[in-house]
Structure 1
């Protein structure tokens, strides 16, 4: 009897499990809308774009500081376009209404002879006197002064001038400053110029020319003259110029013409030669030329010269070797022409030029610079007189920018990310540290992505911070110790969220190595049913020059969210090979742009589906523009088992066809077999999924031929695809029409629904 009872119990359990399994399968059925539902999705996406406009209040704050730096005003635009004007006393940490809006509107109306709405006054350039008795401002394209005792307004000719002199502060600089000099010597006694390809100088008071060179020619002219600060030397170059080859495009629809117009532009591609520079110094006292004992400068332009203070026969200049694997700083003795190598750094992969910051401190004969030689981008202090270098910052985090250096206090101000292990490692925070690497002070300890703006004298700063799903907060702080003085504003997103929109959600999981966190965001439809499985669309841009997933609260209806409204899960991810993480993380892109972080991206989306069963990884598409266009097609070609549909706009599909400066930075020099092996043009025959190619015919960034070469390869391989060329459009995702076609493409190939018949205005006529 027990045996039959056990059999009965097992039968019941199996039936229950079978029923439960069917229920689970039913609960996660693929989202497959009807045609009518799909049209409703389109209408809702369009309606949400309208409903969400201007629904987030106080998400930006522009401070206008008053004379003396102890007060500032700002204006909020809130619900119904009402404007609030606030005056902040930074010493007291208090704010108040800048004026009585009703009284000011009345006084200004009397002056203008027309009625003004006190709730929506449009004022600019507010300036208070030191006792806050008079207010000057700009309104209606004129200037006025208002007596705040009785609110009588008087028209004035101009606003009061602020005579306060503040010290200048640096803001994130790049090493490659353009070469620039004045033709007139610093002592104003001489003018230098080029005549018949040779160097001459002439007294500014008039008189006989002095010709320093006579062997200049059209093929080897002299140029790029720079004076020493003491006016005793000229530095110039014998130049071997290279004329860049042309790329072409045709404007097919030029107004008032019946023929297409052929256009061209000089365009340097990987492997193309560079103009070279031989450095010389010329002494005015002896009129003697000195050949500088340094390598020919064969990459980029003539460098900026950094002269030693109080001993101006010496100067420093920088040289990076082509291929981006060696960086040097030379010191030149203009008197002898001899050079000394101050710094020589090499790498087996690449140095990222745009993040290789150097700042010269002539007062102390030092250089503050960044380097990734310990595996992370950090600050270093290099002596130019001694063979010593000290690391200023250390740790498994990244210096993002340098704001300023206080030579007297021996302090440096910078931003960084990744120092707080419990946060998204891309969140930017701001810091101050001594040049000796001591006394690190975090100016922005609160969790979030920060953006600082300082008072003109830098005694105070406004800290704005947020996350993609957390609205912005604005705080006034004191620079000396980072102390918070007051909260100025908190963005109000209540009306925005009341529309039903869903904020993006951050998500992270381990990458291909099983150790490194990969971060991204996910957008869902506002009408979202968690019992259904939704197709995934990835917005991709894997350019190694930066990271691209948004980190701050946007407060607007993004394209990702708008596409999600049609019935998709839309994601964006920063995979390995992009910037702002460790050197090893970045190095994945080296000679390997086709990788595009795909192993991390695919793993991330699979992990997302593990967490959220409504993510359908059997229907995954991707889209991108420029390098993202290259990535979008690359996903289809190199990972067809995962990506089923892609839209590639103005892609740099072959790195040999695209611009030199970008591609050699990551793919290296000389151009090798790996360029060809990773080309979308060469690999086009591997296409299995559905593809839409978009290109603007007047693209001057990535030559349109890059896309057309892919098309030719696809045709030769017998592949089917969609193509949208757009007349007279430059480097773009296709503009409004291209974005419409992109959405229709994914609706057709990922949802299996015919998109709206736009020729018959189906979206307008169908109910």
Structure 2
């Protein structure tokens, strides 16, 4: 009997010393937020060019502290921007509080072109200093910034001020729902429209023609107003709860209808414009006059996002014609890939489109409404237009997917002529490039790295693509010495057996390859982008902390997310429940085949917002694979969430496919462990969406956990939610009781 007790005690001791989900693991997990902080040196990632020069500054993090550096791209030289000790002394005296030369808290820094002075902000003071003497003076005290307006507020069509004509002779304004103009010389007023009323009114956003002889104003038919209500249970200024409300349009709600109207100033004539080509509106806007005032253009986004047009209106007749007619059988990604540049001298438009199946640039002739030529082409995507040089008729742009044997999300920079010739790469290394260009685009700073490769920052000459000088190369010695493990970039075939799916694997710092480690996926499958980081960072706090508890933590981008081919993206259309799960499962199984310690039979996942919908969807639609999920602030039924995001991917009108993708409707299918977290004041995703899922689960007799965080908005529950998430996975995947918080977080 004594031998049995001794053996049991020995086993428990071994588990506690080298276990999973133990007290030691918890304390190591909690240390992730501080253990690795500040241990990467010489890795600046922001570079600010000084206006009108070939000099830029950056803030470097060295072993001895922060250093502000100046770099001259022409002279291939860099130096400290000022005497840091002298600056600290000057600021300490001026602000009457101690400043450390190694940690100067300078924000919003501006250097003079001659480098003889510098301006910056400390706290609420805007300070100017002469260099090199560091003679400093407080220029002004910056007032507290007003809180940003709520994103869901309806556009206020009446908030614009009177609009002055280009020749300054007239003012245009709206009064009693109609358009008026007033002579600035004689003060005589003329009414231009007579058909406005409270239901069909004229917007005060008015656009004058360059010759001041015409103007455009929108006539607006009001849409629907929907209000979302939230109870603030624990306000800080009173005992009793408060009712809060927000404007919040949801899929299917009625939108306003806009109709541009043309007015001729000399004749005081109102020219109506037919809405035949822009009747079913999601949005209408971006009025632009051509420079000779013969016509104006505006953009039309059709409800359902399967048609997007640039329309041209004749400034004499009001006739409407199509310049660009973008159509899709699924959706047009207006919210993520729209790009337009009007060339001032050639009456042409540079336009981005996925019509070839890949996001590329096209040149259009405004006069004929015909495409002139594709500017870029190939099985890769244009990610961003950096600069259009109209004189050289050349475009500098960022692209990804250029190298078939590499991660297709890595950004490279390129140049091409507007006629499609002269394509040239400015960067070529197998890294993710982040470029900062000088004002004249003759030079750029290239910050090149990968999640598994330390960054190098260099100055590159745009004309040749040659590196002029290396600025900094990151030092990871202390970070690796502290036990940090580099994430592994991993790719495997997706559901079709052909397409590569890319992601990362994060392991515990003290991994025992003879053990089995459950897998937890951090999921976010929102179609607006992709989510696995591509540049180096040591900040994987939530994922690293979970790994330290004894898990393999992964993140990947499945089909239905953006910035691959159009076909890759289209998987999400009217099908958000898909969330790339077939690709995710194939990828995770491939990782399990490669590494025997990866336990693919013991899977969990967590996410917030769209990721909250995805996480719950994992244990609802794929309970045979996912055993446990934590879903924070999720949009569990796309009819309950914000209009613009959900109609972009789920389409319009509302059909049965919305219910098919609903976690709420499909709640009876729940087959795994589920923890729901929601903030009571979430005004991004309606909190009722989480409560409705809880209600459906209760009615279906399903066991689950629900945490509502008082006073919290759109989040994963803050530190409290993070702790609950860790404990939940330890219980459900490691099958052991977590240590008490008093032991796990003694310093808290």
**TM-score where L is the length of structure 2:** 0.89
Quick check: 60-69 or 323-332, which moved more? 60-69
SS at match of 2:164: coil
Select 1:43's aligned residue among 2, 8, 27.
Answer: 27
Give the corresponding residue for 1:587: 570
Write the distance in 1 (CA, Å) between the matches of 2:621 and 2:121. Answer: 59
Tell me which residue corresponds to 1:610. Answer: 593
| In structure 1, C-alpha distance between the alignment counterparts of 2:106 and 2:219, rounded to whole Å | 56
- State the partner residue of 2:686: 703
Rate the CA distance shift 1:270–1:339 in 2: closer, same or farther, 3 A: same
Matches within 5 A, 1:179-578: 183-223=163-203, 224-295=205-276, 296-310=278-292, 312-354=293-335, 355-386=337-368, 387-578=370-561
Residues 262-310 of structure 1: per-residue CA shift (max 9 Å, x gap): 2222211111111012222111111111111333554244411122222
Per-residue Cα deviation, 1:127-170 (whole angstroms, up to 9, x for no partner): 5885x8x66676986544355xxxx66456879xxxxxxxxxxx
SS of residue in 2 equivalent to 1:305: strand
1:93/1:181 CA distance change after superposition, 3 Å: farther
**Matches of 2:280 and 2:604, distance apart in 1:** 43
TM-aligned CA deviation for residue 442 of structure 1: 1.3
1:63 alignment partner in structure 2: 47
Identify unmatched segments of 5+ residues in structure 2: 1-14, 141-154
Instruction: Extract unaligned runs of 5+ from structure 1.
Output: 1-30, 160-176
RMSD: 2.8
Q: Secondary structure at the match of 2:491?
A: strand
TM-score where L is the length of structure 1: 0.87
The CA deviation string for residues 156-196 of structure 1, in whole angstroms up to 9 with x for no partner, is 6879xxxxxxxxxxxxxxxxx99989611111111111111
Per-residue CA distance 1:409-449 (angstroms, 9 max, x = gap): 10111111001112100001111110011111212212211
**CA, structure 1 residues 602+195, in 2 after alignment: closer, same or farther (shift >3 Å)?**
same
- Higher mean alpha-carbon deviation, 627-636 vs 333-342, is at 333-342
Aligned-partner Cα distance in 1 for 2:377–2:233: 56
- Identify if the C-alpha distance between structure 1 residues 129 and 426 changes in structure 2 by more than 3 Å, giving closer, same or farther: closer
CA distance in 1, matches of 2:94, 2:311: 65
Q: How many residues align?
A: 709
Q: Secondary structure of the residue that 2:626 maps to in structure 1?
A: coil
Given that 1:238 and 1:277 are in contact with CA atoms closer than 8 Å, whether structure 2 keeps it comes out as yes
How many Å apart are 1:114 and its aligned residue? 10
Q: 1 CA distance for matches of 2:105 and 2:678?
A: 42
Distance of 1:493 and 1:601 partners within structure 2: 31
**Cα offset, 1:377, TM superposition:** 0.6
Question: 89-98 or 346-355: which moved more?
Answer: 89-98
2:173 and 2:179 in contact (8 A); partners too: yes
Change (3 A) 1:43 1:342: same
After TM superposition, give the deviation of residue 99 of structure 1 in Å. 5.5
Q: 1:497 to 1:181 in 2, by over 3 A?
A: farther
Give the Cα separation in 2 of the matches to 1:400 and 1:92: 32
Give distance in 1, aligned partners of 2:371 and 2:469.
44
Larger deviation, residues 637-646 vs 44-53:
44-53
Cα deviation, residue 326, structure 1: 1.1
